[in-house]
Chain A
């Protein structure tokens, strides 16, 4: 775009009063009930756990540089991948978009002053921190070596690690999800501004509604499973260990009844973010709004019916395998519908090249690969060979990192000026998006090849012929690490030195852009009345852009 047409006038300053300067001090944060501040609390917490989980990943990749298990002891390696999985899944990915961006934006987007239950919202963060505390205790005591899946009877009887402490941590943390889910559902039902009908809800809100449904219905099953596991481990009550009269495969059914839908807890909010970004930077409504919204609901509901595809080789019966295979195939349809609708939205759009848009396109590409390889895994005749190999590892990283994390970073770049009132540097953000995309593919694409060759997951050492592909993967991981460090630096930098962004730096529609940046304590001076359809872009005179983001840096 020819950005030089804009007259550059620095935006005067941040608004006089906003949620960040109404009160100061630690107490004003720890006792806040403001959904925006709680979002920030979550942002800080999950960033810490992402960094920690990333360190574990780094150690894993370094160990796998050589075929021999020569960097750490086998028991240490087993703890590395277990803690990586637990931290990334339960303490980063599940809360990431809902608890940070969802908390911050959901009330803004529907024209509400806060969520329905502000104190419950704060309680959810405390639950998260309590759960994290138990997990950190286990980690300092020496960690857990069961894998994040806790398969019995290994976890309940044989493991000599802090399984019970982590189980308590995950149990407590589950309540933070449940609280957030309840809060979002009630908020969406009860707190919409006048005129904000269901068909006018931003797709971000729709996807959070679907996500909340899974959180509320699925998380209790995980909690029950974890309690049974802990009771078997501590009191020797026989649920899963055949030596105590239990059924080890029952655990897998219960675990995946939550943990497969949990994948959709991670990906659905990300899809919501992508819909917002694509609409804003194509400056037109999302193509097939209703279909995209219903696809979210379809994924949430179908997601509960497919857990058995994790058990194709577990001794589950032939017929159960076939039924779970066909049901898993059905999830592909709403996912494909979303991808096609996003693509169609670009058609005849007015596309602006911006960092959030780069992340959104990266998301579509990586999610497509993740989704199609998921289709291969649902194909039961293929899954038998690649089950529990690096093929599966690659597949779910394409969904969880390529999908969920790309969406989270895209959303963070899109709403950062709203959250902080300031803009990050354009050049560095473009560069880091590119580095992350390339580094990600170099890390995980070789793992598809490794998996089909037969390299099993959770292997500390491996046959020599796999080494070249592991070296490529580790090289990619180091590039990826650089890609993650750059945004961390410029986001922090921007807090003090970033250009003041103005209320609506992207010239986007949506209620969150109609208030100040950062928003005031109660979001809106007066509750807005919605008399327009979502993504209702109309031709207007060029606005003066008050920030330097998309100008050439010169």
Chain B
């Protein structure tokens, strides 16, 4: 965080310079055309001022050639901007295979984070430099939005579904974290910080809080506590399908539809089991709506992921799937 005044935000992620390059290109185009139009108008305004009363302008009605030129040039510029913008956007949305998954739960008016090793933080997130970080996020109440200007990333955090965002910080420091979706009385106080640390410092920081249980370990306990294990046997002989290796796989429902098992699929299956019943099984699972907090749900899903064979390689592009999740 830099309290001093500046005109341009710090770049602290691998994507930041790509966004800025695109921004400067668009800014250059904009400045060029704004000034061009302003100069031409100013010149015409002086040169063609009325010199005597009763005078009229020349009869220049139209020119097809000119119309085509000044339609096609903006169109070409727009398409360049679109393609470049799309490339940057796809980059932002394509999760690297080796991203480490962290969890975020937003509520009025705070951010709750959990590290893969189990450490929890409120309104602050510590991450190692040079490692791709993936955040799986949800909200307990209204829509919030996760925004770190120095990273140039932003993603709405929506109740009832998971959204994801990833970034790889490339500069050590502490940066602003803002909620950018208006969320009520203390929206402006829903701020925090992201602290990027050298890997060694990060390890020391992790160790500093004493031993904690990882999300998947807590999830395993919940799995037993909510007696999920009485139906979902590991060997597939139970009344529910085995959950070993299920994350990232494709499952066929009793209605014949095939869906990919991702965070949102698991969430739906826990809260609304009747939405997509696997082929060969009958709908006997009760709903867990209202019985699990958002944090517990995330831990349960973390456990199911941990018993899947290859959790990270199989995960589909989560952003694209997230919208279809509910």
B residues 69-102 near A (Cβ < 8 Å) are: 70-71, 74-75, 78-79, 81-82, 84-93
**For the complex, is A318 an interface residue (Cβ under 8 Å from B)?**
yes
Contacting pair B188 A381 (CB below 8 A): no
Provide the bound-state CA to CA distance between A463 and B78, in Å.
35
Pick out which of these stretches binds chain A: B178-186, B205-213, B232-240: B178-186
Provide the bound-state CA to CA distance between A376 and B24, in Å.
10
Hey, what's the 0/1 contact readout for A378-402 against B, CB within 8 Å counting as 1?
Answer: 1111111101110000000000000
Contacting pair B89 A332 (CB below 8 A): no
**For the complex, is A351 an interface residue (Cβ under 8 Å from B)?**
yes
Contacting pair A284 B181 (CB below 8 A): no
**For the complex, is B231 an interface residue (Cβ under 8 Å from A)?**
no
Q: Quick one: given A329-B82, A454-B9, A465-B6, are A317 and B319 in contact (CB under 8 Å)?
A: yes
Pick out which of these stretches binds chain A: B41-49, B218-226, B255-263: B41-49
Chain A residues lying within 8 Å of B44, measured Cβ to Cβ, are 343, 346-347, 349, 351
Provide the bound-state CA to CA distance between A451 and B134, in Å.
25
Provide the bound-state CA to CA distance between A507 and B23, in Å.
47
Pick out which of these stretches binds chain A: B58-66, B123-131, B296-304, B307-315: B58-66
**For the complex, is A523 an interface residue (Cβ under 8 Å from B)?**
no
Q: Quick one: given A361-B45, A364-B41, A458-B187, are A384 and B89 in contact (CB under 8 Å)?
A: yes
From the candidates A78, A157, A343, name the one contacting B41 in the complex (CB within 8 A): A343
From the candidates A380, A461, A537, name the one contacting B188 in the complex (CB within 8 A): A461
Shortest Cβ distance from residue B115 to the other chain A in the assembled complex, whole angstroms: 24
Contacting pair A336 B62 (CB below 8 A): no
**For the complex, is A375 an interface residue (Cβ under 8 Å from B)?**
yes
A329 nearest CB neighbor, chain B only: B78
Shortest Cβ distance from residue B291 to the other chain A in the assembled complex, whole angstroms: 14
Hey, what's the 0/1 contact readout for A41-77 against B, CB within 8 Å counting as 1?
Answer: 0000000000000000000000000000100001100
**For the complex, is A249 an interface residue (Cβ under 8 Å from B)?**
yes
The number of chain A residues touching the other chain, given as a range, is 35 or more
Hey, what's the 0/1 contact readout for A438-459 against B, CB within 8 Å counting as 1?
Answer: 0000000000010011101111
A residues 153-168 near B (Cβ < 8 Å) are: 153-154, 157-159
Shortest Cβ distance from residue B294 to the other chain A in the assembled complex, whole angstroms: 11
Shortest Cβ distance from residue B182 to the other chain A in the assembled complex, whole angstroms: 4
Provide the bound-state CA to CA distance between A369 and B33, in Å.
9
**For the complex, is A365 an interface residue (Cβ under 8 Å from B)?**
yes
Chain B residues lying within 8 Å of A316, measured Cβ to Cβ, are 323
From the candidates B2, B22, B53, name the one contacting A5 in the complex (CB within 8 A): B53
B residues 1-51 near A (Cβ < 8 Å) are: 1-9, 18-19, 22-23, 26-27, 29-30, 33-34, 37-38, 40-41, 44-45, 48-51
Shortest Cβ distance from residue B75 to the other chain A in the assembled complex, whole angstroms: 5
Shortest Cβ distance from residue B85 to the other chain A in the assembled complex, whole angstroms: 4
Contacting pair B2 A452 (CB below 8 A): no
Q: Quick one: given A291-B62, A314-B158, are A1 and B51 in contact (CB under 8 Å)?
A: yes
Pick out which of these stretches binds chain A: B146-154, B196-204, B241-249, B277-285: B146-154
Contacting pair A542 B53 (CB below 8 A): yes
Contacting pair A385 B182 (CB below 8 A): no
Provide the bound-state CA to CA distance between A158 and B75, in Å.
44
Contacting pair A282 B9 (CB below 8 A): no
Contacting pair B50 A351 (CB below 8 A): yes
**For the complex, is A16 an interface residue (Cβ under 8 Å from B)?**
no
The number of chain B residues touching the other chain, given as a range, is 35 or more
From the candidates A318, A326, A372, A456, name the one contacting B82 in the complex (CB within 8 A): A326
Contacting pair A346 B154 (CB below 8 A): no
Shortest Cβ distance from residue B47 to the other chain A in the assembled complex, whole angstroms: 9
From the candidates B30, B38, B41, B182, name the one contacting A457 in the complex (CB within 8 A): B182
B7 nearest CB neighbor, chain A only: A449
Hey, what's the 0/1 contact readout for A308-339 against B, CB within 8 Å counting as 1?
Answer: 00001111111111100110011011001101
Chain B residues lying within 8 Å of A146, measured Cβ to Cβ, are 182
Chain B residues lying within 8 Å of A494, measured Cβ to Cβ, are none
Contacting pair A459 B84 (CB below 8 A): no
Contacting pair B30 A381 (CB below 8 A): no
Chain B residues lying within 8 Å of A347, measured Cβ to Cβ, are 44, 48, 60
Chain A residues lying within 8 Å of B119, measured Cβ to Cβ, are none
Pick out which of these stretches binds chain B: A113-121, A221-229, A240-248: A240-248
Residues of A bordering B, CB below 8 Å: 1-2, 5-6, 69, 74-75, 78, 145-147, 151, 153-154, 157-159, 241-243, 247-249, 282-285, 287-291, 312-322, 325-326, 329-330, 332-333, 336-337, 339-341, 343-344, 346-353, 361, 364-365, 368-369, 372-373, 375-376, 378-385, 387-389, 449, 452-454, 456-465, 467-468, 537-543
List 28 contacting pairs A-B, 8 Å CB cutoff, sorted by A.
Answer: A1-B52, A5-B53, A74-B187, A78-B182, A153-B159, A242-B161, A243-B160, A248-B158, A248-B160, A282-B48, A291-B67, A313-B156, A315-B161, A316-B323, A317-B319, A318-B93, A336-B71, A339-B37, A344-B60, A349-B58, A350-B48, A351-B45, A365-B41, A381-B86, A383-B85, A388-B180, A453-B8, A538-B56
Instruction: List 19 additional contacts besides A318-B93, A337-B74, A389-B180; criterion CB under 8 Å.
Output: A154-B183, A242-B326, A290-B62, A312-B89, A315-B319, A318-B90, A319-B320, A329-B81, A348-B57, A350-B51, A350-B56, A373-B30, A375-B81, A379-B85, A456-B180, A457-B180, A459-B187, A461-B188, A465-B2
Pick the 6 closest A-B CB pairs, nearest first: A242-B160, A454-B149, A284-B57, A381-B88, A542-B53, A379-B85
